[in-house]
Structure 1
Amino acid sequence: MAIQTQQSISGFIATQPQLTVSEHGISRFHARIGIEHSRQEPDGSFTQLEPTFHGLAIFRKTAEEAAARFRKGDRFVASGRVHEYNYDKDGETVAAEEFIASRIGHDLARTRYEVDRSPRREAIAHEHDALGDSAVASATSPQPKVASRASL
């Protein structure tokens, strides 16, 4: 079986993210993002080029989680797909694109953080229904926080 892949990007959050909810109750996270570029020179050195800016959208539960965790300036890695669309501006049709992320996280190489491995409330409720009280009690016992290598 072939490995299924998605497109991925890394960059920084360039504007304060916005969380909105559609009339159908679907959460949407949106922010402008910057992607840094560089060029390798003949001597092997790299020249930093101007970043490019794009739209980033995330939907549903992932959007809500991203809105709680990401701020302007944060570095991230995301996987998903590019969405191309058209819109009208001053009577002209303009082609545009945005990155629709299905997964997003802070960039390990540029972010210090701690990992909380305790189960989320939804996971606890699901385990309770599937396994019963004794299994859930052991699964919900306090877990130590683990610092990433970047914070050491």
Structure 2
Amino acid sequence: MAWNETKLTLTGRICNDISLRQTQDGTTMASFMVATTERKFDKELGTWVAGNSLYVPVRCYRKLAENVGASLGKGDPVVVTGRVHTHKYDKEGQTHWEIQMDASGIGPDLSFCRAATQRTLPLEAVAA
């Protein structure tokens, strides 16, 4: 972990198809967007209402990317944790900044779904 690294845990839904590809050095990478919308209880209406939304591009690599591609899809509720940073790019002569998240852990949000696990390594290898 780097000094002054910004870590974040985000809950939301995958809002696009997961893109799986190989980087130039052959590393598997998955990328997708997570949308999260705050929910507030409106006492006057007696119901929950939507608040502000945040859309965060997420990337992950190697085995995590393979498992995400095999296990999750558009619309799935997820919990994502990882490092957040800004990405600077130029488009049509304009400089833009966007938040990006490099995930170190991703899983289904069991508050909104059920999941069955399938280990990719034997239990003995994990315990060692």
Find the counterpart in structure 1 of residue 82 from structure 2. 80
CA apart distance, 1:123? 3.5
Q: For residue 3 of structure 2, what is the aligned residue in structure 1?
A: none
Listed as ranges, the matches of 1:3-42 within 5 Å are 6-39=7-40, 41=42
Q: How high is the TM-score relative to the length of structure 2? A: 0.80
What is the match of residue 58 of structure 2? 56
Alpha-carbon shift at residue 85 of structure 1 (Å): 1.3
Once residues 109 and 124 of structure 2 are traced to their aligned partners in structure 1, the CA distance between those partners, rounded to angstroms, is 30
Per the alignment, residue 91 of structure 1 pairs with 93
Q: Secondary structure of the equivalent of 2:112? A: coil
Q: Which blocks of at least 5 consecutive residues in structure 2 are unaligned?
A: 1-6
CA distance in 2, matches of 1:7, 1:79: 6
Amino acid of the residue matched to residue 82 of structure 2?
Answer: G
Between the aligned partners of 2:39 and 2:123, the Cα distance in structure 1 is 45
CA distance in 1, matches of 2:116, 2:10: 23
How big is the shift at 1:104?
Answer: 0.5
Q: Which residue in the other structure is 2:113 paired with?
A: 111
The one-letter code of the counterpart of 1:75 is P
> Which SS does the other structure have where 1:11 is aligned?
strand
Higher strand share: 2
Compute the TM-score of the two structures, normalised by the length of structure 1. Answer: 0.68
Return the alpha-carbon distance in structure 1 between the equivalents of residues 63 and 115 of structure 2: 22
Q: After superposition, what is the alpha-carbon deviation per residue over 1:103-133, rounded to whole angstroms, capped at 9, x for unaligned? A: 00000111122234xx53x447958xx8xxx
Greater share of residues in helix: 1
Output the aligned Cα RMSD.
Answer: 2.6
Listed as ranges, the gaps of 5+ residues in structure 1 are 1-5, 131-152
Following the alignment from structure 2 to structure 1, what is the Cα–Cα distance between the partners of residues 77 and 103? 15
**Aligned residue number for residue 68 of structure 1:** 70
Which one scores higher on RCO, CA 8 angstroms, separation ≥ 6? Answer: 2
Question: C-alpha distance in 1, partners of 2:104/2:51?
Answer: 28
1:138 alignment counterpart: none
Q: 1:125 to 1:115 in 2, by over 3 A?
A: closer
SS at the partner of 1:55? strand
Give how far 1:70 is off. 0.9
